[in-house]
Structure 1
Amino acid sequence: MSIDNVPVLVDVPAYPDVPTYTNLVGGLHIWEGDGWKEESLSWKIGTYLASNLSGPQELTLRGPGAQEFLSRLSINNVYKWKVGTSKHLVMLDDNGYIATHGLSVRDNEDTFRHLASWPWPIYKAESTDLDVELTVRNIFLIQVAGPTSLQVLERLLGEQVRDVAFLAIKDVTVPGIGEAGEVELSRIGMAGTLAYELRGPLELGPRVFDAVYQAGQGLGIKRSGWRTYVVNHTEGGFPQISCTFLPSVYEDDGFMTHPQFSLFGNAAGSERTGSVDHQDLRARFRTPFEANWGWMAKFDHEFIGRAALEAEAVKPPRKTVTLRWNKEDVVDVFRSQFEPGEEYRNFEFPTTPQSPAGGHADLVTIDGKPVGVSSTAVYSYFYREMISHSTIDLDKAEIGTEVVVHWGEFGKRIKPVRATVERFPYLDLPSNKDYDIDSVPSGVTSTK
């Protein structure tokens, strides 16, 4: 299959009733599947089915130096890590800005896999003195999230899998697809609700995706695409590289000019928009403390960016909060489209700019003084609110604080939008790690 005569990796079926596909992050993805409103409700009332993160290659690191290599890259302690479990690893540049982050899996004592991430480890491996071998393969990564997701998966697999704990992994067999144990199931997700991932060889992706979709009939399953992706992350309280901020590799000349990574250097989400000067990359970068991930940092080992992060840890200046935008001011943006003169930048539902949009940054002020930066504007159909993630001064981050978001493009007409600091995450439903699995009806009639 191709888009505009450009061959792409295919990891989803060509459904005749799916209105829009897109070529993003190295593969063919659904842009809008069952309608963005239905999709944005799915992880709260049914099942969200998406393959947005298929495409970036799975990186395997193995050898006697693999664990030390990951340790030198990651702010996390990678030694207190059980085999067969996952970790969210955060990797920095020398200045303490996030270069990449992603899910990693420990398969055995000296073998690790890194998923859905920028290829920062590959770039850094070129200059390492450690004994570590890196290999890559194309995989599918299918996200299945929401209150009925476990039932859907048990229908799919024909067995109960509620023994899969949060962050744990289990090899499974999808009946009629691939070899026994060729697919892995992980209880992980960024939706803020009960969520799982299915992962395996890319060539099996379309068949597995459709098998999950068929298993979810009658359980509120919706095929979801990139159009609603940032809604998921914004409601669920998970900042995401290339969606709510940019990786700092944009300031690394070696990475940006590397022939192997040219695709990433020109990746979607790199376009800079918003009321903050478009030349200001710092406003579009994040440190771990700014992304609310500072708690992951363990200063018991040497890692790239440690000195900068350790200095920030003494008194972190900012954190990420949810901003709820004033409805009257949002409506005024639409009103300007029907008046003479220069209009305000319009909103595109459900996200503006449309995802991925990590290069977007709007100035946030209190009494005219800068206090933070707001990322993509997100319309939550579930809450009927316009919300955004904002990195804001720590002493202004208390719930109820009133701020002003400067909505628009730098050098053009700006709309001051009143906003209020609200709970983070904004989604007020049971989280994945705390979900009461015993409350979920079985998806199979008998156990195996």
Structure 2
Amino acid sequence: MSGNGNAVGPGGPGETGLVALHDVPAYPDILTYVNAVGGLHIWEGDGWKQESMSWKTTSYLASNLSQLPEVTFSGPHAQEFLSRLSINNVYKWPVGTSKHLVMLDEHGYIANHGLAVRDSEESFRHFAAMPWPMYQAPSLGLDVEIKLRDIFLFQVAGPTSLQVLERLIGEPLRELKFLGVQQVSIPGIDASVEIELSRIGMAGTLAYELRGPLEHGPAVFDAAFQAGKEFGLKRLGWRTYVVNHTEAGFPQQNATFLPAVLADPGFVTHPVFGAVFLPSQVEGPLPGSADPKDLTARLRTPFEVNWGWMAKFDHDFIGREALEAEAANPRRRTVVLRWNKEDVLDVFASQFEPGEEYKHFEFPIAPQAAAGANADLVTKDGKQVGVSSVAVYSYYYREMISHSTIDVNLAEIGTEVVVHWGDHGGPIKPIRATVERFPYLDLPTNKDFDLSSIPSGVASA
């Protein structure tokens, strides 16, 4: 983490007088930024409790996935290239729409996933993902041109997000469908700058993304922040970001599970990919009560994270044989666990008693990290039945919850299990937990959100 709250002075984006910290401004009321995914990001924006409430009651603005490059795949073999890598059918994909691509290693574990947009018959763009396609390109031997571009990627999500964006852009946006993409202009930003708006997100409710050239990121971020103040917009930092994934039922690479590239020696030792993308995972012990030497406890298959429905066995792709075998007999799936409050309080109580205390909780993420794929063993009647990851405190529900990949016969709501909280070799606190609904967030989803119920955000003349 880097304290940069005093990095304020003349100049910067627009006429705000704010100094740019990579793709976000340095706001005088934000004292702490964090060095993550290639650059400085907000750690805590408007207070973690307000941020935790934002995607249920107002909206948030987040830059957490910015500074990861946009990758364009183009050429006569671009579609076949993505098809050979993805479990999805990429041929039934209308131009101008988005798709969540999931890619595997040969053992059927998720090596890479991320949002992609089809721009034309022979051109596709991929966002915020591991460089697995580039690593695999030489072995596939297809005629594909690959280009990288530094972009900003801002997420605006929550029930007032549409009003925020209409106020920002100055026109109605009701025609943009779920998974759709359209070009927009933002007043105050050079009209020649290509900025796109996509109706997509991970908050579990109404959500959008703004994407464009990285150098315009600070100005666009601040313009969105100013436009959203009237609608209760909060700046969401890394400290609270993963809470929305856990509530919304979106398992996230590098948080709820590790990418299978870690199990590929060629990728790990690659002079570019391994050095740039993996140092935080390669160095130091992996957290959680599961043995850190057992990497498979932190890897996941599509069926284990409830993405098996995306798999189409109508084409050849890396990992197909392993995935087909699992499809015939899925072993585990992801559920939400609600942790027993008395057992959680015992963890806090141990901090005030003599002797060795239990591994502490930090709110709203425990342990306090947005990456690392914490893996805690889950048992039933003394037998291991799953793995729990990313324990978060939900201020909205006033509960400690986590995602758990668990045996399918125990995935019914109400099943009681035990989470073994702690780090391997250290004090372990057994915490009773109950299987609950997945996703845990019980609000209208993005694709089902009734836009007619939202007042217009366009400023009146």
For this structure pair, what is the TM-score category when the shorter chain's length is used for normalisation?
over 0.9
Q: Is the 8 A contact 1:284 1:358 kept in 2?
A: no
2:450 to 423, 436, 439: 436
Q: Which one-letter code corresponds to 2:280 in the other structure?
A: A
Partner of 2:374: 360
Q: Please give the alpha-carbon distance, in whole angstroms, between the structure 2 residues aligned to 1:179 and 1:120.
A: 34
Call closer, same or farther: CA 1:26–1:104 in 2, change over 3 Å: same
**CA, structure 1 residues 3+112, in 2 after alignment: closer, same or farther (shift >3 Å)?**
farther
Cα deviation digits, residues 51-108 of structure 1 (max 9, x gap): 0000111000000000000000000000000000000000000000000100000000
1:278 aligned to 2:322?
no
Equivalent position of 1:51 in the other structure: 63
- Of residues 354-363 and 301-310 in structure 1, the stretch that sits farther from structure 2 once superposed is 354-363
Corresponding residue for residue 199 of structure 1: 211
- In the TM superposition, what is the alpha-carbon distance from 1:125 to its structure 2 partner? 1.2
Query: For residue 448 of structure 2, what is the amino acid of its counterpart?
Result: D
**1:375 is paired with a residue of what secondary structure?**
strand
Whether 2:18 is the aligned partner of 1:15: answer no
Q: Identify unmatched segments of 5+ residues in structure 2.
A: 5-19
Letter of the 2:379 partner, please give it.
Answer: T
The equivalent residue for 1:233 is: 245
**1:115-134 to 2 correspondence within 5 Å?**
115-134=127-146
* Closer/same/farther in 2, CA of residues 139 and 111 from structure 1, 3 Å limit: same
Q: Any idea what SS the aligned residue of 2:342 has? A: helix
Separation of aligned partners in 1, 2:93 and 2:435: 36
Match of 2:346 among 325, 332, 346: 332
Shift in alpha-carbon separation, 1:280–1:333, aligned structure 2, 3 A: same
The CA distance in 2 between the partners of 1:17 and 1:380, in whole Å, is 24
Aligned equivalent of 1:74: 86
Mean CA deviation greater in 262-271 or 68-77: 262-271
Distance 2:190 2:232 in 1: 27
Query: Does the 8 Å CA contact 1:9/1:55 hold for their aligned counterparts?
Result: no
Deviation string, structure 1 residues 229-284 (Cα, Å, up to 9, x no partner): 11010001000000110001111111111111112121369751011111110000
Assess, with a 3 A threshold, how the Cα gap between structure 1 residues 9 and 15 changes in structure 2: closer, same or farther: closer
Spell out the pairing of 1:315-394 with structure 2 (5 A cutoff): 315-394=329-408
Q: In the alignment, which residue of structure 1 is the partner of 2:38?
A: 26
Question: 2:10 — aligned with what?
Answer: none
SS of residue matched to 2:425: coil
Q: List 4+ stretches of structure 1 deviating above 6 A.
A: none
- Counterpart Cα distance in 2 of 1:360 and 1:269: 14
Distance in 2 (CA, whole Å) between partners of 1:346 and 1:426 is 24
Matched, 1:400 2:414: yes
| 1:291 counterpart = 2:305 | yes
1:422 aligns with 2:439: no
- Alignment check: 8 A CA contact 1:25 1:267 kept: no
Name the counterpart of 1:154: 166
Aligned-residue offset at 1:30: 0.3
Contact 1:284 1:361 in 2 (8 A): yes
TM-superposed deviation, 1:357: 2.7
Distance 2:132 2:368 in 1: 25
* Cα pair 1:69 1:132 within 8 Å, conserved: yes
Q: What is the root-mean-square deviation in Å for CA atoms of aligned residues?
A: 1.5
* Letter of the 1:408 counterpart: G
The aligned amino acid for 1:366 is K
Amino acid at match of 1:352: A
Q: 1:264 aligns with which of 250, 273, 277?
A: 277
Normalised to the residue count of structure 2, the TM-score between the two structures is 0.94
Give 3-state SS (helix, strand or coil) of 1:227's partner. helix
TM-score between the two structures when normalised by the length of structure 1: 0.97
What SS class does the counterpart of residue 71 from structure 2 fall into? Answer: strand
What is the CA deviation profile of residues 203-251 of structure 1, one whole-angstrom value per residue up to 9, with x for unaligned ones? 0111100000000112111011100011010001000000110001111
Asked whether the 8 Å contact 1:269–1:357 carries over to 2, the reply is no
1:262-310: CA deviation from partner (whole Å, max 9, x where unpaired): 1212136975101111111000000000010000000000000000000
Identity rate, percent: 71
